[in-house]
Amino acid sequence: MIWLATRLVFHYRVRLAVTLAGVIFSAYLTLAELALYIGMMENATSIIRHAGADLWIASKGVQNFDFAKPFPLAVTTRLTDSPEIVWAKPIMLAWGFLKRRDGAQEQVEIIGYDPAAPVGGPWAMASGQAGDVGAGANIILDESARQQFGDLRVGMSWELNDREVRLVGLSRAARTFTTAPLVFASYDLAQEISGAGGHGGMTAYIAVKLRQPADAGKTIETLRSVLPDNEILTTRTFVKRTILYWTVQTGMGAALGLTAALGLVIGAGIIGQTVFASTMEHIGEFATLKAMGASGRELNTLILAQSVIPSVAGVSVAAALALLSRAPLATTGVTLAVDPYLIGFQFVLTLSIAIAAAHVSIRKVRRLDPATVFRS
C-alpha cells in the first residue's frame, strides 16, 4: 500500500507543491521559535553554566543572573575555613557605558573576575587569554559586539564609564539575554568602575566549588546557617530560576509558545485538508479495495502514508533551512540553538500531527460501505 500511496502523492504535483510549501513553513516556524527560545535561555544562563561552580551565593531574592544586588565581599572570609569547599571566587556584575568611535554611548554588562583563576570569565576565546585582563585597565569584549562597535582589534583603547581601558582579547559565544554586549574585566577594575570598592568591597556573586558535589544539600544547610542574609543556590537551581524569570516574567515564553503552536495548527490544517481531499477524490477506489478484501489496516496504511510522506519531506527541508540560517542570524545577534535533538523532536512532533490530521480520512473510509461500488 505504501507504493500506491507514493504514486497518489506524486501524481498531483501542484497539490504536492502547495502541501510541501505549507508544511515547510509550518515546520520552520515551529523549529525556529523553539530554537530561538532555547538560544535565548542558553545566553541568559551561559556564565552560570560555564563557571564550573557547584554553588552560588547571592543576595536574598535574586531572580536571574543579570540583575544582581551586591553584598559585602567580607562574606568570603567565612567560607575559606570550610573543609567542604575547594574554592570560593567572587564575581562582580555591573552595568556601564562603553563609548563608540562616533562618540555615542552603548550600554554594556560588565563581569569582573579574578584573572588568576578566571571563574566567571570567558570560556572560549577568539584571541587572547581570559587571564590577560589582569594588571591594568584591560577588558575583553565578545566578538559579537562588532555589531554595535564595528572594528574590534586587540590593543585598541576604549572609554568605559569615562575610564580609558585597553582591549586585550576577544571572547567567543559569550552573550546575554538582554543583548547588551558583555565586557569582561578584572574583579578590581569592575569594582572601581561600578563604585563598589569602598567599605571593604562588594560583590554580586560568590561561586563555590565543592570537594564532594554529591553532598551539596548538607553544605547548603551549613552555609544558610552561616549566611542567613544570603541566597545559597546550586548551579542547576540558579539556571532554572533564571530561565523561569525570563520565560514567565517577561511574557516571552507565552509569545514564542503561541507562535510555535500556530505553526503546528497551520501544518495540521494543511496536511489534514490535503489528505481528506485526496481521500474524497478516490472514495470509489477505496470502496473497490474494500470490496476486493483489503483490510482496514491496509487502507489505514494507505491514508497514513499520504500524510507522512509530505510531512517527512517538509520537515527535512525546514531543518536544512534552520541549519543554514544559523550563521546569518548570528551576525545580527540572534542565536538559533538548532541541534540534532531539536530536529528529532520536530520530526516526532510533525509526524504526530500528520497522523492525527489523517484521522478524519481514516474514519471516513472505515465507515465506507463497499457495496457502494456496485450501485449505479
pLDDT digits (tens, 9 = 90+) for 140-195: 999 888 888 888 999 999 999 989 999 999 998 888 888 789 999 999 899 888 87
Q: Are 275 and 306 in contact (CB under 8 A)?
A: yes
Supply the pLDDT for residue 306: 77
* Each residue's pLDDT tens digit, 48-59: 999 999 999 999
State how far the alpha carbon of 361 is from the alpha carbons of 5, 20, 288, 312, 340, in Å.
14, 19, 16, 19, 32
Q: What is the mean pLDDT of the chain?
A: 85
What does pTM read for this prediction? 0.82
Q: In this predicted structure, what is the pLDDT of residue 113?
A: 93
What is the mean predicted confidence (pLDDT) over 52-79? 88
Residue spans of the domains in the chain: they are: 2-43+251-374, 61-228
**96-118 mean pLDDT:** 90
pLDDT tens for 74-83 read: 877 777 677 8
Residue 125: strand, helix, or coil: strand
**Span 330-364, pLDDT tens digits:** 877 788 888 899 999 988 888 888 888 787 777 77
pLDDT above 80 for 10: no
Type of residue numbered 346: Q
pLDDT digits (tens, 9 = 90+) for 268-284: 888 877 777 777 766 67
| CA gap 145, 331 in Å, rounded | 10
